[in-house]
Amino acid sequence: MIDVEQTRESDDARRKRVWPPIMMVLVLTVLALGASGVGISYLFADDPSQPGTAEVTDPEAVATATGGNEPVGVETPSFLAGDEPIADAAEVILPSVVQLQTPDGGVGSGVIYDSNGLILTAAHVVEGSDTVIVRFSDGEEVVGTVVGGAAEADVGVIEVDRTGLPAATLALDESPRVGQLAIAVGSPWGLQSTVTAGIVSAVNQAIDCRLGGSCRSMLQTDAAINPGNSGGALVDRFGRVLGINVSIFTLSGANDGVGFAVPIDIAYDIAERLVAGESLASAYLGVTGSDVETGQAGALITEVQPETGADEAGVRVDDLVISIGGVRVQGIADLASQVRSHRPGTTVDLVVVRDGVEVDLVVTLGELASN
């Protein structure tokens, strides 16, 4: 059984540093020092605009390299582009990462994403708070107003009365790769401007799937994540934000090398909706399904709701969904998490296997009715 647990650490507990015995169950711990949750994940994405390709211009070098043939461009391995890529990325992102303190003494992190005072964070960090203390990288502290939060996606927004802030670059068009380098910045245990590094362990990872609950598509990492990192930045080696750190899967209550971050495209879209006061309703496909025990992986459709996007697109019972929006589907949890990553009204491509033949369908997602 997997439980969801948010931990709070009082001032007295922080002084004593007394931790409870390790639970003999699997716990998905959302760790934010005092206020709840933590999370961190790392990604890496090459940027063709960055240094990394060296042209051979010396004639003798060209002759040696080509055996007398036409000159060629020699592409250097991307990890040789800089002597200290992690340090370079940290230098870029650190001014954009802030520490947050809630009225109950909780500590989390945030990322400036708009120079006119807007800050991304995790929803559970600011849950129940109208204001927070925002501490910038130079030590200045101001009062920030909580614009709102989307609990299911774990994304929140804070606004401060400042302009000209150092906004982070958001990698909205990047596609993270498993195994790529990534850097996380936040305030674990209240230690501001702490940098850790790791790799992307998985992308499009479906987590938080519970009966009657929701599934979320997340970035997974082995980076060291601890309480206070929640809401902090997950960046690539160029300092571009790839995700907002929110949670870890742990047996010990601290970093066990399995962390999660909300992909930045999802986080930014929700932030824009929060600021604009728009609906946060989830997308709805209109099917019920299950995993398959043998054979090709996918989500086996067991029921199609009438007058839904799935019904109108021609989805049938016994169809095996293997892809949605270009993302491979391994089971029903993958399908659910990918549907929820879109806005209602979005049109997506759906690939199903029907009687052994792949069929391409186009579905317009509906809106999930609130309970």
Q: Among 272, 271, 200, 192, which Cα is nearest to 232's?
A: 192
The phi-psi region of residue 277 (left if phi > 0; otherwise alpha if psi is between -120 and 50; otherwise beta) is left
CA distance 326 to 320: 15
Buried b (16+ CB within 10 A) or exposed e, 27-59: bbbbbbbbbbbbbbbbbbbeeeeeebeeebeee
Task: Tell me the H-state helices in the chain.
Answer: 11-16, 59-66, 85-93, 123-126, 264-276, 309-313, 332-340
Task: Read off the tokens for 286.
Answer: 């209109």
CA distances from 124 to 161, 194, 260, 297 (A): 23, 20, 14, 34
Q: Just list the catalytic residues.
A: 124, 154, 230
Distance CA 339, CA 315 (A): 15
CA distance 72 to 78: 18
CA distance 188 to 232: 10
Q: What are phi and psi of 271, to 5 degrees?
A: -60, -45
